[in-house]
Amino acid sequence: MKKLKEACGVFGAYNLDGKNISSVIYYGLLALQHRGQESCGIAVSNTKKDIKNILCYKDMGLVSQVFNKERILELNGDLGVGHVRYSTIGESIKENAQPLALKYIKGTLALAHNGNLINTEELKEKLQRNGAIFHTTIDSEIIAYYIAKERVKTKSIEDAVSKVMKIIKGAYSLILVSPKKLIGVRDPHGFKPLCIGKKDNTYILSSETCALDSIDATFIRDVEPGEIVTITSKGILSDKRNCITNNRRGRCIFEYIYFAKEDSYIDSVSVYNARIKSGEFLAEDFPVEADLVIGVPNSGNTAAKGYARIANIPFAEAFVKNSYIGRTFIKPDQNERNIAVKLKLNVLKEVVRDKRIVLIDDSIVRGTTSKEIITLLRDAGAKEVHIRISSPPFMWPCYFGIDVPKREELIAFNYNKKDICKILGADSLEYLRVDRLSELVNNLSICKGCFTGRYPIRIKK
């Protein structure tokens, strides 16, 4: 049951009273676990004692598996950063887990990164020609190297970061821990989210506002695309020298459609409201006679509620989802594969039997998941299945941190809508119109490259 995956989530905290913040970061990462389930880590520094030392622990697995009470107590520091990862670039191995912690001539640095660079190979080759040795296969290490390299020639870490922002290209929300500074950086196009919060005398940087809510922190504001935010004992400092005009920004629309938790706000837009709108737009543009509207958990449920309200068709939850089943089972035997699918998602037969169903899902990538779900509904006795997708057809890959595969693997690239409908076994199929995407997010400037092939940054294809 393959679904799209996000690259990762980042969370940083600085307690100005000198109290240990590792438990705060731990709970923040738990709230961001949906952004990455392969590996996680926490790095902390003690600004009241030894600023030359960074304590770091990271491993493969979920946050609750990697960290326990004893491990959290060992990570004693008042300034730190955490990371949860899903690999879109670089292997899924412990060496590629983040944060990255390093010592260099100017001191110490810890870095957590969400996003993908598009000029990784070019930058890496330049560093290797100058003798750099890499310990990972992720682009985040390249960013760390360049920041350390520029810091040797600049007066401040902020100046070094600003220079590096002119070198690296692509998507990045960064959280840095420098000896007595917590720094947040968002790429000029704003692909990935990053926000600022505060609880008592602790400042926080987070990928999503839901993590602020989880620790009862107050949301202050979003980090602007292109902005460098520095948090010190004196408060928040802002550097906007790398900001660009609003119409050149390209926030990832899939944060709103699928990736972010629906209780989050990104750039002042409610993720929940965006998903409700997507269902409403589908109902307005592609109505169909039916008895019931259902959604594929979890993001499909919210869009389904929007569809049901506009269409005046009852909404019901028809799937039982097993939250404890991890990534897709790969089974050579078809019977075993069928069992694996039902373990992850099963249908309430009493809900769908003899019903004409409108099925709402957030996307179709290769089509295998949608086909399996429709088969489950047919087997449970559904009379008709009309599928409505709360995003346009995937026609192009993503270069900025979503594991959209090559064009040749995308079902919408290989087949027209009528053929896809037949392959999936649906009675009808419709996608959200591309021109509706901006309406979902109150006309913010967004990236629609995976639907249109036109990206905010020029791509060498």
Q: What is the mean pLDDT of each run of 10 residues along the chain (461 residues)?
A: 64 97 98 94 91 90 95 96 79 85 90 94 88 85 93 95 96 95 97 97 98 98 98 95 87 94 97 98 98 93 97 96 56 52 83 98 91 95 98 93 81 96 97 97 94 90 63
Q: What is the pLDDT of residue 331?
A: 40
Sequence-ordered list of residues with C-beta below 8 angstroms from that of 55, at least 6 positions apart, any chain: 43, 44, 45, 74, 75, 76, 77
Q: What is the pLDDT of residue 246?
A: 79
Domain ranges of the chain: 8-249, 275-452
Residue type, 172: Y
Q: What is the pLDDT of residue 48?
A: 87
**SS3 track for the chain:** CCCCCECEEEEEEEECCCCCCHHHHHHHHHHCHHHCCCEEEEEEECCCCCCCCEEEEEEECCHHHHCCHHHHHHCCCCEEEEEEECCCCCCCCHHHCCCEEEEECCEEEEEEEECCECCHHHHHHHHHHCCCCCCCCCHHHHHHHHHHHHHCCCCCHHHHHHHHHCCCCECCEEEEEECCEEEEEECCCCCCCCEEEEECCEEEEECCHHHHHHCCCEEEEECCCCCEEEEECCEEEEECCCCCCHHHCCEEHHHHHHHCCCCCEECCEEHHHHHHHHHHHHHHHCCCCCCEEEECCCHHHHHHHHHHHHHCCCECCCEEECCCCCCCCCCCCHHHHHHHHHHHEEECHHHHCCCEEEEEECCCCCCHHHHHHHHHHHHCCCCEEEEEECCCCCCCCCCCCECCCCHHHCHHHHCCHHHHHHHHCCCEEEECCHHHHHHHCCCCCEECHHHHCCCCCCCCC
Q: What is the pLDDT of residue 2?
A: 46
The reply to whether 8 belongs to the active site is yes
Q: What is the pLDDT of residue 7?
A: 61
When the candidates are 3.60.20.10, 3.30.70.100, 3.90.76.10, 1.20.58.340, the CATH number that belongs to 8-249 is 3.60.20.10
Entry pTM? 0.92
CATH architecture of 275-452: 3-Layer(aba) Sandwich (3.40)
Q: What is the pLDDT of residue 90?
A: 56
Annotated catalytic residue: which of 8, 56, 252, 450? 8
382-400 confidence digits (pLDDT tens) = 999 999 999 999 999 999 9
Using CA atoms, how far apart are residues 435 and 418, in angstroms rounded to an integer?
Answer: 21
